[in-house]
């Protein structure tokens, strides 16, 4: 495929979608597979754009899994999978059931949360059901210096039952409130309304107030890109540097299939830096 930054070889191009994050990649057939070099170059693009959109793709389940595996070891969701494909999480929504509404990132309650995700549109409404992504690097940079320094020394408990108390078991992990990308050095907020239980170093009241402020902050429009789903659309995004919101503005059913790639335990900034 021969990807490289914004000039990506014959017939392949990258077009930014918004001022802060997001790009559409054209001229790539994911069903043909990704070489190690292709996967590395896509990771480089993700560090720049954080969300990559591919249109008119024809992935089946095996090809979908293969795209994920090109990036590394796959994460298996602890509570659901597609029968016959344990590495695929089906995400059926609609008719009043919208569990992905609200900005969040996936499975932060794991010790090794996903580093990136590959989401494939299976079927959905003709109009509505878009997904918005928000840049957590932009959200961090949008805070004042004193608030950045305050948050950079804190940790948060992430809990699989924080928003979903009916789950069969509780999975918990503790991660920094601010994390650092190991290659670019970018800092990103790493708390979300679905899985963050509390900020450990603060009292319950303090934690609730700080988290409420951060959840309002990360939803600012200037941090966002919005993607409309069409048949054959696949989106690959950085799970550490973004949050996403599946917009519940449609009737009927929408079905997505997601493959996620494991990352290392998130690392916070060095103290005093």
Q: Are strands 155-159 and 172-176 parallel, antiparallel or unpaired?
A: antiparallel
Q: Which of 197, 240, 244, 257 is catalytic?
A: 244
| One-character DSSP codes across 163-208 | S-TTSSS--EEEEESEEE-TTT--EEE---TTTEEEETTS-HHHHH
| Catalytic-labelled residue, pool 38, 77, 87, 106 | 106
Q: How many residues are there in the chain? A: 273
* 75 catalytic residue (yes or no): no
Catalytic: which of 104, 121, 175, 198?
104
75, 262 in Cβ contact below 8 A?
yes
194 is catalytic: no
Is 95 an annotated catalytic residue?
Answer: no
> Terminal CA-to-CA distance of the chain, rounded, Å?
39
Say which DSSP state 86 is in: T
What b/e readout covers 31-70, taking b as 16+ CB neighbours within 10 angstroms?
eeebeeebbebbbebbeebbbbbbeebebebebbbbbbbb
Is 258 one of the catalytic residues?
Answer: yes
Residue 260 burial (10 A CB sphere; 0-12, 13-18, 19+): buried
Task: Identify the active-site residue in 75, 197, 198, 258.
Answer: 258
List residues with catalytic annotation: 104, 106, 244, 258
């Amino acid at each position: 495929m021969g990807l490289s930054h914004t000039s990506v070889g014959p017939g392949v191009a990258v077009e930014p979608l918004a001022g802060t994050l997001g790009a559409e990649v054209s001229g790539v057939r994911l069903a043909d597979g990704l070489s190690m070099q292709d996967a590395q170059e896509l990771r480089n693009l993700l560090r720049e754009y954080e969300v990559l959109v591919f249109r008119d793709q024809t992935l089946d389940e095996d090809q979908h899994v293969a795209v994920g595996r090109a990036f590394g070891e796959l994460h298996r969701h602890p509570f659901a999978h597609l029968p016959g494909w344990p590495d695929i999480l089906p995400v059926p929504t609609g008719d009043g059931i919208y569990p992905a509404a609200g900005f969040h990132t996936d499975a932060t309650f794991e010790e090794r949360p996903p580093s990136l995700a590959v989401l494939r549109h299976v079927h959905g409404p003709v109009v509505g059901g878009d997904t918005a992504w928000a840049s957590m690097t932009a959200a961090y940079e949008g805070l004042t210096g004193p608030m950045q320094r305050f948050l950079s020394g804190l940790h948060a408990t992430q809990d699989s039952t924080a928003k979903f108390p009916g789950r069969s078991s509780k999975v918990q992990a503790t991660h920094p409130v601010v994390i650092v990308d190991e290659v670019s050095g970018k800092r990103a907020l790493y708390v979300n309304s679905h899985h963050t239980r509390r900020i450990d170093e603060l009292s319950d009241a303090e934690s609730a107030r700080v988290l409420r402020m951060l959840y309002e902050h990360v939803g600012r429009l200037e941090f966002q890109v919005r993607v409309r789903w069409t048949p054959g659309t696949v989106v690959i995004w950085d799970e550490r540097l973004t949050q996403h919101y599946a917009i519940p503005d449609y009737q009927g059913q929408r079905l997505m299939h997601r493959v996620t790639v494991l990352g290392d335990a998130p690392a916070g900034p060095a103290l005093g830096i």
